[in-house]
Structure 1
């Protein structure tokens, strides 16, 4: 696999680990059981956004990157987006806690682990031992937007940039 470009099919065999939100595990200190999110299968018949961040709870990710997607849920849904998948190299427990810390209450935005950077390495978008900061929009299995930040900030991977391309 190599860098994804507009028009490419989303690759097969891509999965992430995540803990689904449930009312029973809504508290930030409660754990759930990680499960496999089969992105390749899920993305075949949906319009989805993958948002990669270098780390949960890190300054730019928490203050500048994630809030745009949370604040724009209605605008994303209006553009036909059915799911936003936020990934980082953190484990599923940390990603779940990050989602809870940001008051997500359903699975429209899921917080998933790119375990051992399997996906990010496959497309060549890493930052050392972390995922790079990037966004990929997939519409029924086809990449319609893919951009990686080359500078600090969220100019091409933030919610505004993604919304403009949908």
Structure 2
């Protein structure tokens, strides 16, 4: 696998670890049980935005990157987006807590783990031992937008940039 570009098919055999939000696990101190999120299968049948961040609860990710997607849920839905998947190298427990700390209450935005950077390494978008900061929009299996930040900050991978390309 290599860098994904517009027009490419989203690759097969891509999965992430995540903890589904359930009534039993909605408290931030509830752990839940990690499960497999089969991105390749799910992305074949949906319009999805995959957002990668270097780390949950880190300053730029928390203050500048994630808020744009949360604040633009209705605009994303208006463009036909059915789900936003936020990934980082953190484990599923940390990602779940990050989602809860940001008051996500359904599965429109899910927080998942790119364990051992399997996906990010495969496309060459890592930042040392962390996922790089990037966004990929997939429409029923086809990549319609893919951009990785080359500088510090949030420019090409933020909600505004993604919305402009949908």
TM-score calculated relative to the size of structure 2: 1.00
The two structures, once aligned, show a CA RMSD in angstroms of 0.3
User: CA-to-partner distance for each residue in 1:23-73, whole Å, 9 max, x for gaps?
Assistant: 111110001000000000000010000000000000000000000000000
Deviation beyond 2 Å, 4+ runs, structure 1: none
1:12 aligns with 2:12: yes
Contiguous gaps of at least 5 residues in structure 2: none
| Aligned residue number for residue 130 of structure 2 | 130
5+ residue gaps, structure 1? none
Give runs of aligned pairs for residues 107-118 of structure 1, distance below 5 A.
Answer: 107-118=107-118
Matches of 1:91 and 1:45 in 2, distance apart? 26
2:153 is the alignment partner of 1:153: yes
Compare 24-33 and 112-121 and name the one that shifted more: 24-33
1:73 is matched with which residue? 73
Name the CA distance, whole Å, in 2 between partners of 1:25 and 1:59: 26
Aligned to 2:163: 163
SS at match of 2:40: helix
Deviation at 1:21, TM superposition (A): 0.6
SS in 1 for 2:68: helix
Aligned length: 166
Distance 2:130 2:99 in 1: 19
Cα distance in 2 for residues equivalent to 1:48 and 1:144: 10
Q: Map 1:57-96; keep pairs closer than 5 Å.
A: 57-96=57-96
Note the C-alpha offset of 1:92. 0.0
